[in-house]
Structure 1
Amino acid sequence: MSDQPAQPLKRLHIKTYGCQMNVYDSGRMADVLRPLGYVATDTAEDADFVILNTCHIREKAAEKVYSELGKLREMRDRGLAAGRARMTIAVAGCVAQAEGEEIMKRQPAVDLVVGPQAYHQLPELLTRTARARGERIGADFAPNEKFDALTHEKIGARGGDGVTAFLTVQEGCDKFCTFCVVPYTRGAEWSRPVADVLAEARELAARGVREVTLLGQNVNAYDGEGPDGQPSSLARLAYALAEIPGLDRIRYTTSHPNDMSDDLIAAHGELDALMPYLHLPVQSGSDRILRLMNRKHGRQKYLELVERIRDARPDMALSGDFIVGFPGETDADFEQTMDLVRRVRYASAFSFMYSPRPGTPAATMAAQVPDAVSRERLHALQALLTGQQVAFNEAQAGRTLPVLFERKGRHGAQAIGRSPYLQSVHVEDADHLIGRIVPVEIERGQQNSLTGRLQQKAA
C-alpha cells in the first residue's frame, strides 16, 4: 500500500444554461474532472472550481454571463480574504466559443474559456492554468475527438443519473437559419458511430436507466456509421437501441422538419419503445417569414408532414418552437402563425420574441419589429398555446397510461413519473415504484402536469 496521503477532495460547481445538450455536456465535464478528485457541490460559495456552461440562443446571453462572473469574482475575493484557496473560474459552452477572447479581456476573474467541443481537455487545461492564467480553447476540430476522449469506463463511473438519461448522438448544424448562432458555435453536423452510441446506452441500461433521450441540434439528421460501414439513420439507430435489455423508452430532440425521413415516420408507428411525443419546431406559419428565416420548408410542407406523422401514430403529441416579431413580420404574417397553431393543435410549445444575435444575417435585416408589437403578439400566441396544452392534458382524464416513475414527490409517499407524452404525473402511495413502468389511471389534467392513481396496489 502506498504511503502517499490521499488526495483531498475538491468541490466542483457547474451552472448550466440553455438546452439539454448543455445539460448533457455539464454531466460529461463532471465525468472528466472526477478522476482529479472533484466532487459536485450545489453552491458556488464553497466550490474550488466553478464552470458556467453557457448558451448563446437566448437574448442577452453574454450579459447574463458577465453578471454571474461579477458575482463569482466577489465571492472569490471574500474567500481569499478569509484564507481560503483561490477558486478557479471557467466559462464553457456556446458563449465561450463565440466571445471567448472578449470574455478574457472584460473579466479578469476568468481563468479559462472552453468551447463546446473541447471540454474533454479540462484536466490538461487546469494543470496549465495552475501555472499561468488565461487560456482559450475553441471548438475548431471534429466532435469525435471529444467523444473519443470520453471512454466508456468514465461513462460507467458516473452515478446518480436515475432512471432517465440524455444521450448525445449528433452535434452541430448545417441549416444556417438566419436568426441562429448554433452553426457558428457548435460547428458542422456530425454524428457519432452507431457502435459508440449503443455502447454508452448499454452502460446506462446496466445502471438502471429505463428511458433515453437522444440529443442533437438536428437529431433526425443523424447519419452515424453503422455496423456495415454505411451511414445509419435515426430510425435504424432507434431499432437497435430498442433491442437493449432494460431500455424501454426512446425519445429524441431537437428535430428539423426537413429531416423527418420516411423510415423515421414509419418507426413511430411500428416501434413501441419510440415514445409518441415529437418536438418539431416550425418557428413561423408564414411562408414569407420562413423564407427570410432560411428554414428551407414552407407552411404547407410542415402541415402535410404533421398529417403523415399522425397517420403513422394517431396519438402523437406534438411540441414546437415559435419566434414572433422576426424582422419584417406583419400582422398578416403573425395571423398565419396563429392559424397554423390552430390547425396543428400542440400538446406543448416554446415561444419567444425575436432578438438579434450578433453575426447572424437577421441581425442586420431591415424592418426590425418594435418590442411592444412583438410582446403583444407573443402574449396572444402564448395564450393560444397554453389553451391547447391545458386541453391536451385535461383530455387524458379517464385514460390509463403507462407511467415511468422517476423520483419521490413532495408529500408523503407520493411519486412523480412521466407519461408517454412527457407529461409529469403525480401519484400518491407510489414511492416504492420508482424505476418501474406502471399503469396509472389519470384522474385530472392541469396546465403542467397530470394527477393519477394506481389501478391496483402494485407490489
Structure 2
Amino acid sequence: MNEQQRKQANQIKQVDPSDIKSAPEENLERLKNMDSDEMIDKYFQTTYEPPNLKKAKKRLKKDVDIHYDFSISKELQQIGKGKKFLIRTYGCQMNEHDTEIMAGILSDMGYETTDDTNEADVILLNTCAIRENAENKVFGEIGHLKPLKLEKPDLIIGVCGCMSQEESVVNRILKKHPFIDLIFGTHNIHRLPALIEEAMFGKEMVVEVWSKEGDIIENLPKVRKGKIKGWVNIMYGCDKFCTYCIVPYTRGKERSRLPEDIIQEVRQLAAAGYKEITLLGQNVNAYGKDLEFQYGLGDLMDEISKIDIPRIRFTTSHPRDFDDRLIEVLAKGGNLLDHIHLPVQSGSSEVLRVMARRYTRESYLELVKKIRTAMPNATLTTDIIVGFPNETDEQFEETMTLMEEVGFESAYTFIYSPREGTPAARWEDNIPMEVKKERLQRLNALVNKQSAEAMKKYQGQTVKVLVEGESKKDPEVLSGYTERNKLVNFRGPKSIIGEIVEVKITNTKTWTLDGELVHEAAEVK
C-alpha cells in the first residue's frame, strides 16, 4: 500500500462508523448490512493487496532465511484464557501438519481445543486448493458458519491454507462472505498470534497473504495428534510447475530444512515413544537440491534409519527426482519401509509432455524396474488424472495398460478440473463430463481389481500391524496398518493400542484385511 492509499484508508476508517468492531451490537448490525457490493468495494479497495500468482511464480535467488526465535509475547499468551478454538482441516498431510502447528500456537496463547462449533471462540478453516471439489466444501462450510457468526458476533472465523493464496478465492470471500474476520496464507502461519489480536481488536477484516516466499521457522510449537504416528516436514514448496497444479503458487519455491534440525526432531519423536514417522514435502524427494552442500533425501533417510524408531515413510515423491541414491538407501530395509507412493498422473508420454511432468512413460517404467530390482517386494501406489484437455481414447488406454504393467496396488484417481491461475486453466476443457466419468469408472474398476488381487496374497500370512485405535465401524475391533500400508482389522485388548503386534490374516477384502491377534506387542526394533 502506498502513502496515498494509506491516507485514503485512514479517512475511510475515520468516517465510517460501521467499520467499528468494539461492541457486539455494532458488530451484529454491520454484519446484517454487509451484502452491499458498494460498501464492500469502498471498504477494501484501498486497504487490501491480493495474492498475486505472477509474483508467486518468480523464483528469487535470495537464500531462504531460517529462524529459531519464534516467541509469543506475555500479553498474547493470556489472550485466549477461558476461550476455545476449532480448526477444520482439508487436503493433504502437509495441511494436517500445519494444523498441528496452529493448534500449538493457539494453545500457547491460552486457548483450549474443542470439536463443537457452538463452543468455539476461534474457528479456522485450513483449506486445500488442489481440486475444485475441495474448494466447494470450504465455501459450503463458510455458508454454514454465517448464522453462527450472526448469533455470536465476537466469534473469530478465519480462512487459511492453500485457498488463501489464490487471488480469486480471496476476492470471492471479500465480496460474498464479508463476515469472515481473518484470511492468511501458507507462508505466514507464524504470524498467527498478531493476526488473532488484530482480528479481535481491529476495525476491519484482517487479510495477510504473502506472494513472496516464506522463510523457515524452526521452533514453532505443535500439538500433535496422538503419540503413535508423527509427521515431519523436511521441505516446503515445489518448483515443478506441472501445467494443471496450483501447489507451486500456493506453497512457494522449494525450501529445505537443514538436516540437523530434521534429525533432532525425529530423535525427539523417538524419545517420546512414536512408532512411525512420515517425512513430508510437496515434492519430498527434491529435498536438499537448494542446500549449499550436496545432500539429498537418500542421505537424510540413511542417517534417520539409525534412530531407534520402528517405521519411517516419506511422501509425496516426484518420479523425476527419484534418484539411484534413494533407491540404494531404501533397499537396505530395516525401519525404512518399501511402500512407495509414486504419482504417474498419466500413462501417455504425450499427455505427460503437455502436463509438463518432464518424464515419459518409458522412463517411468524404467524407474519402476530399478525399484523392483532393488526391492522385489515393494508396494507401489500412485495418482492418476483422467480427462486432461485433449486426452484421446488411445491415450487413456495407455494409462490403463500402464496401471496393469506396473501392478499398482492402489491409486488415487481424479477427474481433471481446471485450477485458475495454472496454464492448463487457459486451455479448452474439451473432454465431455460423461466421457471423463466413464473413463474414471473403468479406471477405478481396474484399481479395485488390482487392489483385491494384492490383498489375496496376504491370506493366511502373519503381518506386523501398528495398532492405531478402534475401528471406525466397530469400537470392539482394533485397526492399524502393516509396513506396506495395508489396513488390518482384528479383535484385541485396548492395551495394545500404540504397539506393533503380529496378526494372522483370516479374510481379505478389496481395501482391508481381517485378522486374529497372534500375541501381544511383538514390537519391531
**Considering the TM-score relative to the shorter chain, is it more than 0.5?**
yes
| 1:335-374 correspondence runs (5 A) | 335-366=397-428, 368-374=430-436
Indicate the residue corresponding to 1:83 in structure 2: none
Q: Deviations over 1:329-362 (max 9, x none)?
A: 0100000000100101111110011111111111
Correspondence 1:46 to 2:119: yes
Aligned equivalents of 1:384, 1:149: Cα separation in 2: 45
Indicate the residue corresponding to 1:429 in structure 2: 492
Aligned equivalents of 2:448, 2:250: Cα separation in 1: 32
CA gap of 1:173–1:458, structure 2 versus 1, over 3 A, is closer
Indicate the residue corresponding to 1:257 in structure 2: 319
Gap runs ≥5 in structure 2: 1-77
Q: Please point out which of 166, 169, 180 is paired with 2:245.
A: 180
Correspondence 1:134 to 2:205: yes
Q: Deviations over 1:109-164 (max 9, x none)?
A: 1111111121111111111122223222224344434x2351xxx34xx3552211
Q: 1:442·1:451 contact (CA, 8 Å) conserved in 2? A: yes
- TM-superposed CA distance for 1:196, in Å, is 1.3
Correspondence 1:218 to 2:283: yes
Q: What SS class does the counterpart of residue 126 from structure 2 fall into? A: strand
Q: 1:194·1:225 contact (CA, 8 Å) conserved in 2? A: no
Q: 1:143·1:171 contact (CA, 8 Å) conserved in 2? A: no
Aligned equivalents of 1:325, 1:6: Cα separation in 2: 50
Q: Deviations over 1:45-85 (max 9, x none)?
A: 221000011111112444432222121111121335xxxxx
Q: 2:164·2:170 contact (CA, 8 Å) conserved in 1? A: yes
Q: 1:405·1:417 contact (CA, 8 Å) conserved in 2? A: yes
Indicate the residue corresponding to 2:456 in structure 1: 394
The TM-score, its normalising length taken from structure 2, stands at 0.80
Indicate the residue corresponding to 1:95 in structure 2: 163
**Structure having greater relative contact order (Cα 8 Å, sep ≥ 6):** 2
Q: What SS class does the counterpart of residue 152 from structure 2 fall into? A: helix
Aligned equivalents of 2:441, 2:326: Cα separation in 1: 34
| 1:270-349 correspondence runs (5 A) | 270-349=332-411
Correspondence 1:377 to 2:439: yes
Aligned equivalents of 1:108, 1:220: Cα separation in 2: 40
Aligned equivalents of 1:187, 1:159: Cα separation in 2: 25
Q: 1:93·1:115 contact (CA, 8 Å) conserved in 2? A: yes
**Aligned-partner residue type, residue 184 of structure 1:** Y
Indicate the residue corresponding to 2:95 in structure 1: 22
**Aligned-partner residue type, residue 186 of structure 1:** R
Q: What SS class does the counterpart of residue 455 from structure 1 fall into? A: strand
Aligned equivalents of 1:423, 1:200: Cα separation in 2: 27
Correspondence 1:64 to 2:134: no
Gap runs ≥5 in structure 1: 81-85
Q: 1:323·1:352 contact (CA, 8 Å) conserved in 2? A: yes
- TM-superposed CA distance for 1:322, in Å, is 0.5
Q: What SS class does the counterpart of residue 270 from structure 1 fall into? A: coil
Q: Deviations over 1:382-421 (max 9, x none)?
A: 0000111111112111222221112134656632221011
The structure with the largest alpha-carbon Rg is 2
CA gap of 1:436–1:65, structure 2 versus 1, over 3 A, is closer
| 1:100-119 correspondence runs (5 A) | 100-119=170-189
Indicate the residue corresponding to 1:78 in structure 2: 151
CA RMSD of aligned residues (A): 2.0
Q: 1:414·1:431 contact (CA, 8 Å) conserved in 2? A: no
Indicate the residue corresponding to 1:169 in structure 2: 234
The TM-score, its normalising length taken from structure 1, stands at 0.91
Indicate the residue corresponding to 1:198 in structure 2: 263
Q: 1:225·1:231 contact (CA, 8 Å) conserved in 2? A: no
Deviates more, 1:232-241 or 1:59-68: 59-68
Aligned equivalents of 1:262, 1:159: Cα separation in 2: 33
